Amino acid sequence: MFQKLKQLWRSSYVRLLEEEVLRLRAENRALMNSLLGTAGFPPVEFPESPKPQPLPRLRKRSWHQLQAWRETAANRDASASLDDKTFERTNGPVRHS
């Protein structure tokens, strides 16, 4: 219930922000064309701003996918630490010249 209310409020808030952006863009176009007209230049035609695209649905990963990612990350970290040890010998580190 709380999640639905939160999502509803957030979507209305985002909609208000998008409307404010559109209003400010229109106001900026009008001001710029007014200044250009005062300076003796013809008004500029601006391309229409792109429409906001809906965000793709966030996929929830299953527990076995998360476990597989953790295992591969652990294996990668373990192999990286093994690669660091190949430069060390029993008599000390190998000098690169």
Contact (Cβ atoms closer than 8 angstroms) between residue 42 and residue 36: yes
Q: What is the pLDDT of residue 95?
A: 64
Contact (Cβ atoms closer than 8 angstroms) between residue 49 and residue 22: yes
The pLDDT tens digits along the chain (97 residues) read: 667 666 776 788 888 898 999 899 999 999 999 999 999 999 888 887 777 778 788 778 888 888 998 999 988 887 766 555 555 555 656 666 5
SS3 95: coil
Structure tokens at 32: 């710029």
Q: What is the pLDDT of residue 63?
A: 87
Contact (Cβ atoms closer than 8 angstroms) between residue 30 and residue 13: no
Q: What is the pLDDT of residue 34?
A: 94
Domain extents in the chain: 1-40
